[in-house]
Structure 1
Amino acid sequence: MEWRNIYRGFLMGISDLIPGVSGGTIAFLLGIYDRLLTSINGVFSKQWRKHIGFLLPLAIGMGTTIVLFSRVIKFLLANYFAPTQYFFIGLIIGVLPFMAKQAKIKTTFKVWHYLVLLIVGVLLAMTAFIKPSESTIITTLSPTTILILFLSGWAASTAMLLPGISGSFVLLLLGMYSTAIAAISDFNIPIIIVIGLGVMLGFVISSKIIQFLLKQHATLTYSIIIGLIIGSVFVIYPGIPESGTPFVMSAVSLIMGLLVSNLFSPHEADSQPK
């Protein structure tokens, strides 16, 4: 068991609670994105024990964080919205140099790759202007709500694996974010199980697709991923805070995010599958 993955899962879990912040971005930041995809795909292979040893501590860290910190994140977003968002902006910006190195931008990117990057970034940034309306919180199950929750979990898990797209934001767009947070906060086990099953199936299928694209069309895929990461900055940008304490807190949070990103960013060799 790779027990150090618990703290990695902790960081990914926190990010997945924030609409607009992607757990996939944090996985890139920690240098485990390739291994994450490989391990998810390898769960049903002959080496499943090795992959479970990587994924289980990660899942424990994520699950524990989501359960324990859902209310904390809710409090921070309600009372310290701008500083919280600026911290994650710092994390996202901080991962870009590592991503550029991984993609070998200087040697592999052509003009059309930059164009794809720009288009993807702009399209994602435009979602910041979408004001989703939350539907009624689902607390009981019926055939219809089971299907809705399952598919919502599937869509959210795909977003979690894609750097730059937040699973929480997808749930927000689908009107299921309040339902998911309420289920976690209130320990509504049936709701959690249905969403969780959708998330698990989504992880398995989406990871195979993403890994295939990274192997067969690496440069194009990296241009899309970097575009998503840049676009996500605009999605969570809270605006310029008021002068005084809010401005200072936001500036400090941004710097802390950059420092944390720099601290956890791995060497290129560390990010390769083992």
Structure 2
Amino acid sequence: MFMALGERIGHVLRGAAIGVAEAVPGISGGTIALVTGVYERVIASAGHLVNAARYAASDVPRGRGWTRAGHQLRQAHWDVVIPLLIGMLPGLLIAAKTLEPLLTGYPEQTRGLFLGLVLASVLVPVSMVGKPWRRVEILALVVAAVAAFALTGLPQATLTPHPLVVLVAAAVAVCALVMPGVSGSFLLLTVGLYEPTITALNERDFGYLAIFATGMVIGLSLFVKLLQWLLEQHRRMTLAVMSGALLGSLRSLWPWQSDDRDLQAPGDNILTIAVLFLLGMAVVTAMVIAERRRLNRAARDLTEETYEISQVR
């Protein structure tokens, strides 16, 4: 009983860490889920929920009942998902409250920190591709990087975001949860919706948040299965494209830039920004190392267990 309670508390803390990560550009919630060992169960549960919604929409109106939808709901790892959700909300709100004054008062220093976070997070999809890289994968990385560099150089919108833009951006950003190394909040940052979303969270703008939540539901329904399929059937190419998109998007986090996103030479606060940049790299690098150690331990334990079974036989 105490072990089960401790495990649930651990999932709540993991959820809080994922919530904080989703608010910070550069740290992927998917990466945190990987590091803490809940990634596969979260993704599997998301797939079951999408299936349940699809079966309910097709079966219930035809009088076929909830049998197939209920079966999918029972397959979800609720013992993991519910504690994670309980922890994610306060983690997200606390991070949002902390970040908004930093973004407003110290934009260059904040971008310097985020630049370090994102640059180091590229290690995740790159390392997941494995070795050796094929020419077509290198080409895909370069094309994705160039495209992302061009897109993130477009002037950021300063007007009140259109609801349709918010809807689409939320649908795309939520998919970052299933892609370790890709930050949903960073995607929002590149299209100019990061600060409006943070402000809406802090000011409890329920109209904006309702549109954003609707976009998240649409994104999960439409894209999760597709992304799962891509990672299963075209894993290396998908990860190569993700790596290139991250590298190209670093343009938007260069600390010294104009309001129109024109890059400028380094100016004031170089020392402070450099320290924050290195700090950001160190944080994500530590997470990557922790993940690799966990995977190595799991592989070693599996090998030892297999050996013991073979000895008994």
- Residues 19, 169 of structure 1: 8 Å contact kept: yes
Q: 1:22 touches 1:165 (CA, 8 Å); kept in 2?
A: yes
Match of 1:10 among 13, 16, 30: 16
How far does residue 113 in structure 1 lie from its aligned partner after superposition?
0.8
Q: Which amino acid aligns with 1:253?
A: L
Distance 2:156 2:200 in 1: 20
How far apart, CA to CA, are the structure 2 residues paired with 1:181 and 1:156? 14
Matching residue of 2:142: 118
1:154 to 1:30, Cα distance in 2 relative to 1, 3 A: same
Counterpart Cα distance in 2 of 1:211 and 1:53: 22
CA pair 114-161 structure 1, distance change in 2 beyond 3 A:
same
| Alignment CA distance shift 1:209-1:271 (3 Å) | farther
Identity of aligned residues (%): 23
Of residues 31, 34, 44, the one that matches 1:38 is 44
Counterpart Cα distance in 2 of 1:121 and 1:271 = 34
Of 189, 193, 196, which residue of structure 1 is paired with 2:210?
193
Aligned residues: 263
- CA offsets 1:177-215 (integer angstroms, 9 cap, x no match): 454333211223343233213212312332111110111
1:180 aligned residue (166, 174, 197): 197
Once the two structures are overlaid, the 10-residue window that deviates more, 178-187 or 216-225, is: 178-187
Deviation at 1:160, TM superposition (A): 5.0
Secondary structure at the residue paired with 2:158?
Answer: coil
Structure 2, unmatched stretches of 5+, are 1-6, 53-70, 257-265, 300-313
- Residue in 2 that maps onto 1:222: 239
Q: Structure 1's 104 and 25: CA in aligned 2 closer, same or farther, altered over 3 A?
A: same
Gap change, CA 1:110 and 1:263, over 3 Å in 2? closer
Cα deviations by residue, 1:164-189 (Å, 9 ceiling, x for unpaired): 65434554566654543332112233
- State the Cα distance separating 1:116 from its structure 2 match: 0.4
Q: TM-score under structure 2 normalisation? A: 0.67
Tell me which amino acid in the other structure corresponds to 2:134: K
Give 1:225's aligned amino acid: M
Q: Of 216, 225, 239, which residue of structure 2 is paired with 1:208?
A: 225
CA deviation profile, 1:238-272 (whole Å, cap 9, x unmatched): 25463565245335524543554345434436899
* Distance in 2 between residues matched to 1:199 and 1:242, nearest whole Å: 39
2:172 alignment partner, SS class = helix
* Number of the residue aligned with 1:59: 85
One-letter amino acid matched to 1:236 = L
User: Counterparts in 2 of 1:22-33, with a 5 A limit?
Assistant: 22-27=28-33, 32-33=38-39
* One-letter identity of the residue aligned with 2:239: Y
Picking from 251, 268, 271, the partner of 2:295 is 268
TM-score, normalised by the number of residues in structure 1 = 0.75
Separation in 2, partners of 1:112, 1:69 = 39
Q: Which residue of 103, 108, 112 maps to 1:77? A: 103
Using a 3 Å threshold, how does the CA distance of structure 1 residues 96 and 184 change in structure 2: closer, same or farther? closer
